[in-house]
Amino acid sequence: MSGKEVKKMLKKNGYKISSNKGKGSHEMASKNGRSFPIPNHKSLKRGTFKSIRDKVKEIEALNE
């Protein structure tokens, strides 16, 4: 899965993507005051994807 695909999924779920806050090839995804980086890579490594998934789960759990 690419960074572009991850950003598209996050946008559909209400996350805001900010390109000016990230460094280099990264952008920031945020929702309800919590943010995390999303790399703009063609292919995300498994660990990177799992880290993003875990952050999303954490943020969503706080919203319940």
pLDDT in tens, the chain (64 residues): 999 999 999 999 999 998 876 677 899 999 989 999 999 999 999 999 999 999 999 999 987 7
Go through the domains of the chain in sequence order and give each one's CATH number.
Answer: 3-63 (3.30.920)
The pLDDT score that the predictor gives to residue 34 is 92
Contact 26, 39 (CB under 8 A): yes
Count H helices and E strands in the chain, helices first. 2, 3
What's the confidence (pLDDT) of residue 21? 67
